[in-house]
Amino acid sequence: GISTNTSLEYSNKWCWDPTSRRFHHTGICDPSVAGPPFPTAKHNAYDEANHRYILKTKPPDVSHTYYHLAIEPAARYLYMYMYDTNIIYRYHLDNNVWDQHPQLPFHTAITGGLVFFPERNGLVWVSGGVVQYYNRSISQWQTVATGLFMGIRANFAIYNPVRGEILFGAGIEETAGDP
């Protein structure tokens, strides 16, 4: 059978915290294939100094995490998009507490890519041909682009610190905007 002890299934991204020198990851084994006993969500941190994994406070809800994690080291936050919703959870890396970040204004696709963009001091969400940015100065999400050619599942967004840019796209299944 399939192990329900893994949290790596349908997960592509770990986030590095340079302050604690730990990689963070959230996830869950797919309950549809694992069967009883049903798996529980996990928030793992890999500690560089001790070369071991640490179970951290798990998020209020979690499912497949694809590219749904982002980190903002200066503010000490880890962000996680909840699969197939418009909910983003926020975890304080020092206080070990999860809360809810302002929700995305609308649901674009079941998965996408979440990334923190230091040059704009905010989160960027890419999903189903739409790019959204959380503008802290006005405390709301703004749509940056729509109708981009990409699939509706498994989009990604990755920050490139050398060039100060976000790379995004891809996706599988139907293409947003196709007839």
Q: pLDDT per residue over 111-170, tens digit each?
A: 889 999 999 999 999 998 899 999 988 999 999 999 998 877 778 899 999 999 999 988
Q: Which amino acid is at 48?
A: E
Q: Are 138 and 112 in contact (CB under 8 A)?
A: no
Q: State the Cα–Cα distance between residues 58 and 41, nearest whole angstrom.
A: 7
Rg value, the chain, Cα: 16
Share the mean pLDDT of the chain: 82
Residue 9 reports pLDDT greater than 80? no
Q: What is the pLDDT of residues 16-42, one digit of tens each?
A: 999 999 988 887 655 555 455 555 677
Q: With 0-12 CB in 10 A as exposed, 13-18 as middle and 19+ as buried, what is 178?
A: exposed
